[in-house]
Amino acid sequence: MNVRTILKTAAPVMPVLTIDNPALAAPLADALAAGGMRVAEITLRTPGAIESIAAMRKAVPELLVGAGTVLTPEMMLAVKRAGGQFAVSPGFTEILADAAIEYQMPLLPGVVTAGEIQTAIERGYKDLKFFPAESAGGVTLLASYASVFRDICFCPTGGIKPGNMNDYLALKNVMCVGGSWVAPRKLIEAKDWQGITNLVASAQSTNCH
């Protein structure tokens, strides 16, 4: 599956999840699916992240499960072995681009600057994460890129919430936004599955072009 298809499937929101306890991954996957979520990104920022990816895939096979915060080829390989279906990295590096080819792993790399975007384009990328969206220049910067990088599709992530998501989604070069607000770490820890389902359903009901 290519990254464009993954972003289209996620639209309007790609949930960015940080899971401390892998035992909670399966019920979390159920809660996401109940709210209409079809894609999830698990950040590799906790010791149980890889185990959580495997658990979510097993619990809800129709959910597309990828990994975020993928910084090295070794992390990408671990994601692949756990059944992860895509990788997201905060920045773009040639080493990670090579690893994505070697492991046949769809990669959504992060960019901010025009130079980073050009480097990614030179490697054949058309779908990029814009990170950290709000602190890097937000909607204004992304809008500036629309006329220059006409074929590039962005998934802005970082600081996006219900209050500003529509401003991003209104841009013609934005396919979906990423964010942790749909399944906050605190609600996961509290096992508030209904609360998460409600947040997800609310986010998924947003209109997207």
> Contacting ligand 3PG (CB under 6 A), which of 10, 13, 14, 16?
16
- HSE-up of 93 (CA within 13 Å, CB side)? 12
Q: Are 180 and 17 in contact (CB under 8 A)?
A: yes
Catalytic annotation, pick one of 74, 129, 134, 189: 129
Of 116-145, which residues contact ligand 3PG (CB under 6 A)? 131
Query: How many other β-carbons are positioned within 10 Å of the β-carbon of residue 48?
Result: 16
Q: Are 169 and 12 in contact (CB under 8 A)?
A: yes
**143 vs 107, 130, 139, 148, 153, CA distance in Å?**
23, 12, 6, 10, 12
Please tell me the distance from the alpha carbon of residue 40 to that of residue 63, in angstroms, as a whole number: 7
By CB under 6 A, residue 37 contacts ligand 3PG = no
The contact mask relative to ligand 3PG for 42-61 (x = CB under 6 A, - = no) is: -x------------------
By CB under 6 A, residue 89 contacts ligand 3PG = no
Residue 41 annotated as catalytic = yes
3-class secondary-structure state, position 105: coil
By CB under 6 A, residue 159 contacts ligand 3PG = yes
**102 vs 5, 99, 106, CA distance in Å?**
20, 5, 11
Stretch that binds ligand 3PG, among 49-57, 91-99, 119-127, 173-181 (CB under 6 A): 173-181
> Could you tell me the smallest distance in angstroms from the CB atom of residue 5 to ligand 3PG?
21
Residue 129 annotated as catalytic = yes
Stretch that binds ligand 3PG, among 31-39, 75-83, 152-160, 162-170 (CB under 6 A): 152-160
Nearest residue (CB) to ligand 3PG, 44 versus 76: 44
- Residues that bind ligand 3PG in the complex, under the rule CB under 6 A: 16, 43, 131, 157-160, 178-181
Residues labelled catalytic: 41, 129
